[in-house]
Amino acid sequence: MSTPTPSTIALITGGSRGLGRNAALHLAGQGTDVILTWRSREDEALAAVREIEAMGRRAVALQLDTARTGGFAAFADAVRHALATRWQRQHFDYLVNNAGSGVHASFADTTEAQFDELVAVHLRGPFFLTQALLPLIADGGRILNVSSGLARFALPGYAAYASMKGGIEVLTRYLAKELGARRISVNTIAPGAIETDFGGGAVRDNAQLNQAIASQTALGRVGLPDDIGAAVAALLSPGTGWINAQRVEVSGGQLI
Q: What is the DSSP string of 18-57?
A: HHHHHHHHHHHHTT-EEEEEESS-HHHHHHHHHHHHHTT-
**CA–CA distance, 34 with 28 (Å, rounded to integer):** 7
Q: pLDDT-based confidence at 3, cuts 50/70/90?
A: very low
Domains of the chain with CATH codes: 9-250 (3.40.50.720)
120, 144, 107, 98: which is closest to 247 by C-alpha?
144
Question: What residue type is assigned to position 183 of the chain?
Answer: R
pLDDT exceeding 70 applies to what percent of the chain? 96
Give 59-95 pLDDT, tens digit per residue: 999 999 999 999 999 999 999 999 999 999 999 999 9
Question: What residue type is assigned to position 227 of the chain?
Answer: D
**CA–CA distance, 100 with 119 (Å, rounded to integer):** 10
- Is this model's pTM higher than 0.85 or not? yes
Give 170-208 pLDDT, tens digit per residue: 999 999 999 999 999 999 999 999 987 766 666 777 888
